[in-house]
Amino acid sequence: MKVVLLAGGFGTRLSEETVNIPKPMVRIGDKPILWHIMKTYSEYGYNEFIVCLGYKGYVIKEWFANYMLHTSDVTIDVKSNSVEVHNNKAEPWKVTLIETGQNTMTGGRIKRIKEYTKKEPFMLTYGDGVADINIEELVKHHQKSGKALTVTAYKPKGKFGSLEINENNDVTAFTEKPAGDGMWINAGYFVCEPEVFDYIKNGDSTIFEREPLENIAKDGKMTSFKHEGFWKPMDTLRDNIELNEMWDKNKAPWKIWND
């Protein structure tokens, strides 16, 4: 089963970094967040990826085309025009990089890579969020459900501390970042049957999270895989700083692989 990664957005809320590179290439430690996401799938044996490119997609192409230069020590013999790679850290990945349009919406990007999925089920996620999701259990849940699409559901914590205040304005209880409003949200990490393409009807302008997902749910063809572990999207500079702090302190919950 191939893994489709949406990596074409503008990343405007992280403009401090994305003015020069696409958001999936913003680094956690010394590797792009896209690499971290791929490592999670790879740990479960999924090593074929289709990356939907858009904004500054050539940066992603260059990084994978020169993967050894970016990730290994090398000796370059200028006279003979040869390169010797030391400490080869190559991954067992086959990565297909597809230009899906600068301004194409998420549904349009997915529609454009239809031929590369070979009419087979595929996994799908965004190129800007990390998690410790059990991919094996996610796939088993999807296969058992018989549905067209499985979405990973996550119940986030609130962003701010919660206060309980009595009639005298005394604070009677304080809870730091309690659970949010109790609603499960879309955390990405989908498993899709080929039937999903039939729900993307308006080409490049289709936002996958609107009509396609709404209609799949309305038709009773969607199931959820509830994830109660770690999940965090990298939407802002603050998110990037927090993820890097976790990584630097060796407290990154999404790092399920061994170095």
Domain membership of residue 50 as a residue range = 2-155+183-248
Give the span between the Cα atoms of 65 and 68, in whole angstroms: 8
Looking up residue 29, the CATH number of its domain turns out to be 3.90.550.10
Q: What is the pLDDT of residues 111-139, one digit of tens each?
A: 999 999 999 999 999 999 999 999 999 99
Residue-wise pLDDT tens digits, 79-91: 999 989 887 778 9
In a domain, 259, yes or no: no
Kindly state the tokens that stand for 31: 């590797």
* β-bridge pairing 27-28 and 31-32: antiparallel
> What's residue 112's pLDDT?
97
Looking at the domain assignment, is residue 257 inside a domain? no
Is 135 among the domain residues?
Answer: yes
**pLDDT band at residue 168 under the 50/70/90 scheme:** confident
Residue 190 has pLDDT above 70, yes or no: yes
C-alpha 231: how far from chain center: 10
8 A C-beta contact, residue 106 and residue 209: yes
Question: Which of the four pLDDT bands, split at 50, 70 and 90, describes residue 45?
Answer: very high
**163 domain residue, yes or no:** no
What span, in angstroms and rounded, lies between the C-alpha atoms of 246 and 242? 6
The pLDDT score that the predictor gives to residue 97 is 98
**144: in domain:** yes
Residue 228 lies in a domain: yes
Supply the mean pLDDT for the chain: 92
Residue 203 covered by a domain: yes
Domain total of the chain: 1
Q: What is the pLDDT of residue 187?
A: 93
User: Per the domain annotation, does 48 fall within a domain?
Assistant: yes
pLDDT band at 160 (very low <50, low <70, confident <90, very high): low
**Whole-number Å distance between alpha carbons of 128 and 234:** 6
